[in-house]
Amino acid sequence: MMHRKMLGLLALMLLAAILLPARGIAQVKEAPTRDQIEDKYKWNLADFYPSDEAWEAGLTALKGRVNEITQYQGKLGESAEKLAACMMLNDTLGIVAHRLYVYANLKADEDNRVGKYQEMSERARMLYSDIGQVTAFIEPEILTIPEATLKSFLDNTSLAIYRFYLADILRRKAHIRSQEVEEVLALAAPVTAAPSRIFTMLDDADIKFPAIKDENGNEVQLTKGRYGQILESTNRDVRRAASNAYNETYLGYKNGLAATLSASVNGDVFYTKTRGYNSCLERGLDGDSIPVDVFHSLIKAASENLAPLHKYMRLRKEALGVDTLFGFDLSVPLVPQSKMTFTYEQAREYMLKGLQPLGKEYLANVQKALDSRWIDVYETQAKGSGAYTWGTYSVHPVMLLNFSGTLGDVFTLAHEMGHMMHNYYSYQHEPYIYAGHSLFTAEVASTCNEAIMIKYMLSKTKDRNEKLYLLNYYIDQIIGTFYTQIWFSEFELKIHEIVESGGALSADGLRKIYREVYQKYYGPDLFIPENRDLGGLRISHFYRQYYVYQYATSYAASQMLSRKILAGDKKAAAAYMEFIKTGSSDYPVNILKKAGVDMTTTEPFANTIKTFGELVDEFEKLLLEKK
């Protein structure tokens, strides 16, 4: 699952054969309601549950089965068969519980104002907590089995699929607590998840933005989805007005948003201390056995090589001809040509064309996803913001978009399709226990799709203006997916370290840290006015401990993988298809090594930074050339 907002939404559709008018924001005074959208543009959740009544029946049935697993408590060490039976029942409960949870949350995201689905989501979450409490004995009890006995169990074919899982439990032995403590931690889950839920309700349901005037003087209701589109406007007054309205709205919620983020960090520290880790970072990376040095090396590599990014900010300032560069100047195209918009149908065809290097089988499954109503396309009132792909093991994945007709929306579709295919293939090729992906690998398939598209189109175009658009998009893509996520990660590290050392977080303190890191990365040519340092308070990913750094590591990996695929390396293409069939049946560093990228070295980071510098130089040279 993911939530993203791409930077640099530029006119790659210059390369398309036919351009049709897209839905313009000026024609709609407010976001449409869901019933105003044609069914073909809405996901069909009947494959999850045909009705809410069927969901209710499923919830009731699962509640009646939860205690079945207690029959194995105290008996896991008796035989491999009993351990395997317990593990299989645990998987069965998990499969059903997750299906219930996903359906309720997908329905809630259709309109976050509907109390019924908020309640269903919470009921599913509570059932998850109940299952976690009842099954809390499993891992602690496994650890009481003598190592020699457990190793002999692993020779039994009934436990074959659980070998990696059991070996990983032994690796994490020092951080697994007693049954009683594990039960308490399971009971605490709904409480520690509350800050994220409160933030979502504030951000998606309660916060309302005012109306502003567009380039034509038409009054338009500002939404989060439209905000990114408006920031592409060549009319600086419109961009400024949107920025003022957007930030002033969030300013009114600054203390509440700071309190929810602070509570989330306190929850992270609670789990860190309870499980005996030295830091939240160590705990955040240990689940996937990621060396802490990978995180620190990433931040160090970026921090010590900011000159190309600062140069681009200076180039942007000069190209726009402004005395002061503001945040609302960072998405407007630098190339003096009309902005292009396009329909969702065009975006579909464009994506299929761009992803051809991935092969016929891959594209056939992409077409299946497009034609089977697995995608919820357009923004509607109180719909979940951004974009994500989600699913559950027993059902195909689905995708949420807020498509508005920008180039960035085309790439968001391709990005999320990477997630969708990664989930689709791994669901088919992995058992349930390994079907999910580590966050460390989850963003590789998505950003690889984007990299293949942009590199492919750059290699085909000969037109100067088209190439400028492509280069500008590629540059902004690296900023958004690589550099931005790194400085987000540095902000996240700093706020966790404050609480870990006994300090506290406040709205003013969070804003000060955010401003300092923001300024460091973007350099002296970007001016940050007062009250424009609220980003740290309105980014949902900060509620998922040490999530965002993995965008940057994944992007660095995908840059290397896409380069090999586009070079016609058949072994690399085959290795990539094996990669997307793999869930979590090995540690993510090992999975990526098999695909051809070693993330324990600095090579992927250095390669991306080098690529960025070369793109900035090429863009500058081409921009200065006479037409």
Residues 403, 404, 410, 415: what is their CA dihedral angle, to the nearest 10 degrees?
-40
User: 548 near 485, Cβ under 8 Å?
Assistant: yes
CA distances from 43 to 162, 205, 444 (A): 34, 21, 25
Phi/psi of residue 378, nearest 5 degrees: -100, 155
Beta bridge partners of 398: 390
Output the DSSP codes for 44-60.
Answer: -GGGT-SSHHHHHHHHH
Phi/psi of residue 279, nearest 5 degrees: -160, 160
User: 354 near 348, Cβ under 8 Å?
Assistant: no
User: 396 near 428, Cβ under 8 Å?
Assistant: no
Q: In the chain, count of helices (H) and strands (E)?
A: 26, 5
Q: Please, where are the H alpha helices in 438-483? A: 439-442, 444-460, 464-478
Reference 386, options 416, 342, 407, 341; nearest CA is 416
- Residues whose CB is less than 8 angstroms from the CB of residue 351 and which lie 6 or more positions away in sequence, other chains included: 366, 410, 413, 414, 417, 453
Beta bridge partners of 378: 403
**Backbone conformation region of residue 568, classed left if phi is above 0, alpha if psi is from -120 to 50, else beta:** left
Please tell me the number of Cα atoms within 13 Å of 153 on its side-chain side.
24
Residue 340 and residue 330: Cα distance in Å, rounded?
Answer: 18
Please tell me the number of Cα atoms within 13 Å of 593 on its side-chain side.
9
Phi/psi of residue 322, nearest 5 degrees: -110, 150
Residue 448 and residue 358: Cα distance in Å, rounded?
Answer: 10
Q: Please, where are the H alpha helices in 135-210? A: 138-142, 147-153, 163-171, 179-192, 194-200
User: 492 near 268, Cβ under 8 Å?
Assistant: no
In the β-sheet with 375-378, what is the strand arrangement from edge to edge? 375-378, 395-403, 388-392
User: 393 near 432, Cβ under 8 Å?
Assistant: yes
Residue 551 and residue 105: Cα distance in Å, rounded?
Answer: 24
CA distances from 348 to 367, 369, 375 (A): 9, 11, 11
Output the DSSP codes for 555-567.
Answer: HHHHHHHHHHHHT
> Residue 31 corresponds to which amino acid?
A
Q: Give the 3-state secondary structure of residue 158.
A: helix
Q: Which two tokens stand for residue 609?
A: 């930074």
110, 416, 450, 490: which is the annotated catalytic residue? 416
Q: Give the 3-state secondary structure of residue 374.
A: coil
Q: Is the alpha carbon torsion for 64, 82, 100, 203 positive or negative?
A: positive
Dmax over CA atoms of the chain, in Å, equals: 80
Q: Which two tokens stand for residue 606?
A: 């250095």
Give yes or no: 497 in active site: no
Catalytic positions are 416
